[in-house]
Structure 1
Amino acid sequence: MDRTYTAIDLFCGAGGLTEGLRQAGFHVLAGNDFDEAAGRTFAATHKEAKFLPGPVQDITAKALLKAAGLKKGELDCLVGGPPCQAFSVYNHKRGMHDERSQLFREYLRLVEGLSPRWVVMENVTGITSAGDGEALQAILSGFKQLGYNVEYKVLRAEEYGVPQERRRVVFVGNREGIQIEWPEKTHGEGLKPFTTIRDALSDLPALANGEDKGIQQYVREPIGEYQSLLRGGSNSVVNHSAPRLAPINIERMKHIPAGGSWRDIPYELLPAGMKKARRCDHTKRYGRMTWDGLSGTVLTKCDVHWGAFIHPEQDRAITVREAARIQSFPDWFTFEGSRTEQYIQVGNAVPPLLGRRIGESILLADALKYSTSAIAAE
């Protein structure tokens, strides 16, 4: 069926899921987020979409429909990832008492007001166990009450070409009884080899700790499919400046080989709080990436104290652009705001490449439905 598929992105952030849907063939008409810097990024990188700023609690279905130029029931797909901090395993006080855990109800409110054909909701895997499963059951029953048949599945970003170990729960459903198709894995055992850090970063200019060269040129021709894909039509690199780390951290990094971590740092150089750590603790802290491996999950703060965010060769933390590459953002995607805000935007995003696969699976499900209907009508 040859037609335009429309979408609206709630909790859109910088627009990772929007970008993935665009690549799949959707026209994303509107987005909403309360983060002002992320909104500037979204508006600058997706000019065809109308950005509605402010808390989702203040957004009405009527306003979204007006922004999209649609009537209730005409939207093909409503997507969104309610803020996940309340469900994250990194939040030791996580649970349904956290007000952020109730934001999925705002998503359901807007599903009711918009009546989209398809719904997609993304979150951290912790949502399945938070509150002893209360959140999961509330989401599923909420969709069911609105007439949607919804399934959920844990998707691994690395199995779809993203150079990062990242697990997310994705809910997909529709109100038309269409069979849900999940994206086929493209990378892994028996498939394409996983996309590595080398595939993602090896063509980017070298930097010293704290160095900011502004807009830069690539250091070589693209190596491999992934670099070519992410460069697109770009001829320069933006958002590629190194955070300035304290001299003690640079001294620590000198002792950490590729694939190493805090365990390789001499005892006298360890932070005071880590001198008492057991060898089995803090497995990712002060980790250095390896060229031929995957990244761990990109967080909202690529801080060497938090995880394996040290460049494979250079004694520095990875840049916003390198984090964006690991998340599969195209190089033309410029992140607005302070560097801290840029890292947050990248870390909070759905990897566009994963979003693309999800979008393609929805289009496939629709195509199968219409082809089956056509055959039945003959």
Structure 2
Amino acid sequence: MNFIDICSGIGGFRTGLERNGHNCIAFAEIDKYAIQSYKAIYDTENEVELGDITTMHDSEWEQFKGNCDMIVGGTPCQSFSIAGKRLGFEDTRGTVFFSYVNAIKQVQPKYFLFENVKGLMSHDKGNTIKVILKAFDEVGYDLDFEVFNSKYYGVPQNRERIYIVGIRKDLSDKPFKPVAVGKKKMDLLKAWAKVEINLRQIHPQLQTEVTALLVDVLEDEVDEKYYLSEEKTKKLTVDFDPNKMIGIREATKQGYAVAEQGDSVNVSYPTSKTRRGRVGKQVAQTLQAGEVNQGVVMNDIRIRKLTPLECWRLQGFTDEQFYKAKDSGVSNSQLYKQAGNSVTVNVVDEIVKGLN
């Protein structure tokens, strides 16, 4: 299949699709450092570079009609995330979504695949996700949506993201999606979708087994600069047995969580009185774009931050891809940001396997 990579970042969607033999014909991104990495990783010489999709006219999209089988992308999620102010469509970043929908409307690919934060389901009391699903429905697509956790797809990162997949209505021969009866947000949303849109069985069955551990992606040797200072470690920890484990301060009744070798530790705001859930048992917590928020307990029971390479590995990228980006001159701070902004390659790979 030929596909267009929208809000491409460093190509998480692209790598997943290329693993399945599909071909990129155009990409769109506005971050100059992400573009730098993207062009270093992939051969884009014969592809159309679209730039800012919010400035594109319908006629510019029409050139791809009949030659594009799939549009993929995740529009900026900050406006829908619990980590942001959650202004949704009132935030200009949220309106990029409508440009994404318009691209689908004009090109009419066989499929699209859209990714965003899990918090999309609760934003504006659940109304935002309904607007999004309705928008896809109205431009001619049957839909399926699920929350996939990256830790079940071969990368040790606890990262929950919603993936919406659509198949053009005139091509859809998929059975209707069975809907569970329950009170969870996903159950209620699917019950709504069963009535308001065509909810189809398109996504693969969710996996529930962790197959990789954080230690599997760690570099053998890292610079001392990645280790937390003694001062920061003291702010983050309580008294502990230095031979076995560390007590990580958090806002729970006990006041700390035990972290052992190979566990991840959220190292942001070490003096915070409200943080909880800082420790990830043998998997990393969700990578963020704004900072290096993830550390790991090493075999000497010291905490160090993850390296940029380790963060790229946690998103399913190869070392070769990482070094192509790094060797092009992209800074470590941008490499961290790019990993935090990316989709997980392995999840995309799994989703697209079942699409023809």
Q: Under a length normalisation based on structure 1, what TM-score does the superposition of the two structures give?
A: 0.71
The one-letter code sitting in structure 2 at the alignment partner of 1:356 is: D
Change (3 A) 1:208 1:62: same
- Is contact 2:292-2:336 (8 Å) kept? no
Q: Structure 1 residues 258, 109: closer, same or farther in 2, change over 3 A?
A: farther
Q: Determine if contact 1:300/1:345 at 8 Å carries over to the other structure.
A: yes
Q: CA, structure 1 residues 117+96, in 2 after alignment: closer, same or farther (shift >3 Å)? A: same
- Tell me, what secondary structure is at the counterpart of 1:24? coil
Indicate yes or no: 2:288 matched with 1:303: no
Letter of the 2:307 partner, please give it. T
Instruction: Report runs of 4+ in structure 1 exceeding 6 Å deviation.
Output: 253-257
Structure 2 CA distance, aligned partners of 1:259 and 1:50?
51
C-alpha spacing 1:275/1:84, structure 2 compared with 1 (3 Å): closer
Instruction: Summarize deviations over 1:142-174 as a string: whole Å, max 9, x none.
Output: 122211111211112122222111111111111
Question: How has the CA–CA distance of structure 1 residues 275 and 117 changed in structure 2, closer, same or farther, with 3 Å as cutoff?
Answer: closer
- Structure 1: tracts of 5 or more residues without a match: 211-241, 266-270, 364-378
Alignment size in residue pairs: 301
Q: Could you tell me whether the CA contact under 8 Å between 2:141 and 2:167 is conserved in 1?
A: yes
What is the alpha-carbon distance in structure 1 between the residues aligned to residue 213 and residue 89 of structure 2? 37
Letter in 2 for 1:309: G
The answer as to whether partners of 1:154 and 1:167 remain within 8 angstroms in 2 is yes
Identical aligned residues as a percent: 24
The partner residue of 1:206 within 213, 216, 221 is: 221
- Structure-2-length-normalised TM-score: 0.75
**Alignment match of 1:125 (pick from 118, 124, 134):** 118
| Aligned counterparts of 2:317 and 2:58: Cα–Cα separation in 1 | 29
| Residue 194 of structure 1, aligned match among 195, 207, 211 | 211
1:311 Cα deviation (Å)? 4.7
Task: Report whether the alignment pairs 1:167 with 2:160.
Answer: yes
Decide whether aligned partners of structure 1 residues 21 and 275 sit closer, same or farther in structure 2, where only a CA change above 3 A counts. closer
Partners of 1:117 and 1:135 lie apart in 2 by 25
For structure 2, the residue ranges without an aligned partner over 5 or more in a row are 175-200, 251-255, 258-266
Find the aligned partners of 2:130 and 2:271 in 1 and give their Cα distance: 43
Instruction: Give the whole-Å Cα distance in 2 for the aligned partners of 1:258 and 1:208.
Output: 22
Relative to structure 1, the CA distance from residue 89 to residue 135 in structure 2 (aligned partners, 3 Å threshold; closer, same or farther) is: same
Matched residue SS, 1:99? coil
1:318 to 296, 306, 313: 306
Amino acid at match of 2:220: P
1:6 to 2, 6, 9: 2
How far 1:119 moved relative to its partner?
0.9
Aligned: 1:52 with 2:49:
yes
Q: Within 5 A, what are the aligned runs for 1:35-114? A: 35-48=31-44, 50=47, 52=49, 54-60=51-57, 62-63=59-60, 71-114=64-107
SS of residue in 2 equivalent to 1:8: strand
1:229-248 matches, cutoff 5 A: 242=226, 248=231
8 A Cα contact 1:119 1:174, kept in partner: yes
Amino acid at match of 1:184: Q
Do the aligned partners of residues 147 and 29 (structure 1) sit closer, same or farther apart at CA in structure 2, a change above 3 Å counting?
same
CA distance in 2 between partners of 1:168 and 1:156 (Å):
7
Deviation at 1:299, TM superposition (A): 1.2
| Residue of structure 2 in register with 1:29 after alignment | 25
